[in-house]
Amino acid sequence: SFENRLAFRWFWLPEPVRPLHGSGCGQQQEAVGMEMRPETFSIFRTQENDPDCQSEQHQGQYYTVPPSHFHTVFPHGLPPRYQQQVKTFNEGCVMVRQPALELISHLKRADYSKPTLRYLLYGVKGSGKTMSLCHTVHYCSTQGWLVLHIPDAHLWVKNCKELLPSSYHASRFDQPIQASNWLRNFRTTNENFLSKIKLRQRYVWTKRESTEEGQPLGELVDMGVSRVKSSSDVVGAVLKELRLQAGGTEGGFRLAVAVDGVNGLWGRTTLKKEDKSPVAPEELTLVHNLRKMINNDWCGGAVIATLSQTGSLYAPSSAYLPQELLGEEGFDSMDPFIPVPVSLYSEKEFESCYLYYLDRHWLQHPHSQTEEGKKELIFLSNRNPSVLERLCAFL
């Protein structure tokens, strides 16, 4: 068959069945080996579904995110076209790529008693930054970290219908809808932490409402979801609590702050005040609190950020480098950070993607399954993942 011919071309060996580092991985392989279909082994798929055990030998291969994890780990944060693909193929497969592997290896070896390290994923449009971020978020949640995933910071600086003046600080503005949506998704992701973390401070919302010290975090979040007016301040309180308690030795958890489109936090917004003057990003409560989170003055976690030109405001479409997209102010706040470049597909990764689409019956045009069609796809897409996906969608 087609796959077998390609198998011999690439000389890929089947995975060695020796236990890798970590106790869970070896047993997993044996258990999974029982369920493996007795047909031809697939080059583009790997049975190693745990991001902890994935290594360079799995590069280019697709691993399946278990359906049970899907709705808890990714209620928001996946690119919309990928969500459609998951719905169509009835499974969520992510390619193991070098930037994500590098990030995960850094996260494994970092010292969490020192101030937080900031990682920045950058690359041309459509090269797979958001998907690498989601892969890392999946790793963090399988390791039991608390994940703070902001799906797109640009959504907070544009298209806001309701801008309320903040009750806490006179010159700031609140965004109730965005804040309550985010809190709802935060609640879905981190159900198990909500009862364990206790507040260390008393928060007063109105004359009659307050949250006492020692209450679980879940109550705070529920209050933010139900009382939409004060949800932005609740977000600020949640972020502050997590920052204080992340590195703690007693019941300490690790905090992963994953922000997509972090360049939206510095720069300009398209929002206007009532007297038609533009709103600066620091005048928004959500942005102000998130900036405090990204500073490296707390310890016990990591900040993983992605640049994005797609949703950005007033940025040229050819800009992809951190200096260009973050601007001076942003770069100074993010500095020092660990840059992780995300490149276009290599030949191996392209082959893998092509085979995956063939396997899922996505490439239906008879010519797309020939060598010539494949060459044409390489030429038209230049191995850019998102362009390839859009091309294969109608072929």
- Interface positions with other proteins (CB under 8 A): 84, 87-90, 360-362, 364-368, 370, 372-373, 376, 393-395
Cβ proximity to other proteins: between 16 and 366 the closer is 366
To other proteins, the closest distance from the beta carbon of 378 in angstroms equals 13
Give the whole-angstrom CA distance, residue 195 versus residue 197: 6
Cβ proximity to other proteins: between 215 and 369 the closer is 369
Angle at 59 between CA 31 and CA 52, to 5 degrees: 50
Cβ proximity to other proteins: between 83 and 295 the closer is 83
To other proteins, the closest distance from the beta carbon of 107 in angstroms equals 34
Among candidate residues 138, 119, 251, the one with its CA nearest the CA of residue 198 = 251
To other proteins, the closest distance from the beta carbon of 51 in angstroms equals 25
Among candidate residues 282, 285, 279, 278, the one with its CA nearest the CA of residue 266 = 282
To other proteins, the closest distance from the beta carbon of 362 in angstroms equals 7
- Strand, coil or helix: 57: helix
Give the whole-angstrom CA distance, residue 154 versus residue 61: 31
Structure tokens at 24: 């869970």
Cβ proximity to other proteins: between 87 and 276 the closer is 87
Bridge partner list, 278: 272
Cβ proximity to other proteins: between 295 and 369 the closer is 369
Cβ proximity to other proteins: between 84 and 210 the closer is 84
Is 107:255 a contact under the CB 8 Å cutoff? no
Structure tokens at 52: 């902890």
To other proteins, the closest distance from the beta carbon of 357 in angstroms equals 11
To other proteins, the closest distance from the beta carbon of 376 in angstroms equals 6
To other proteins, the closest distance from the beta carbon of 352 in angstroms equals 19
CA 379 vs CA 1, 342, 388: distances in Å: 25, 20, 10
To other proteins, the closest distance from the beta carbon of 366 in angstroms equals 8
Among candidate residues 148, 165, 330, 367, the one with its CA nearest the CA of residue 242 = 148
Is 15:49 a contact under the CB 8 Å cutoff? no
Is 134:77 a contact under the CB 8 Å cutoff? yes
- Helix, strand, coil: what percent of the chain each, to 5? 50, 15, 40
Question: b vs e for 203-241, b when ≥16 Cβ sit within 10 Å of the residue's Cβ?
Answer: bebeeeeebeeeeebbebbbbbbebbebbbbbbbbbbbb
Cβ proximity to other proteins: between 112 and 362 the closer is 362
Cβ proximity to other proteins: between 324 and 359 the closer is 359
Cβ proximity to other proteins: between 6 and 393 the closer is 393
To other proteins, the closest distance from the beta carbon of 67 in angstroms equals 13
To other proteins, the closest distance from the beta carbon of 365 in angstroms equals 6
The residues near 30 (Cβ < 8 Å, ≥ 6 apart) are: 17
Which residue intervals of 2-128 are DSSP H helices? 2-10, 23-35, 67-73, 80-89, 98-109
Cβ proximity to other proteins: between 195 and 364 the closer is 364
Give the whole-angstrom CA distance, residue 179 versus residue 164: 12
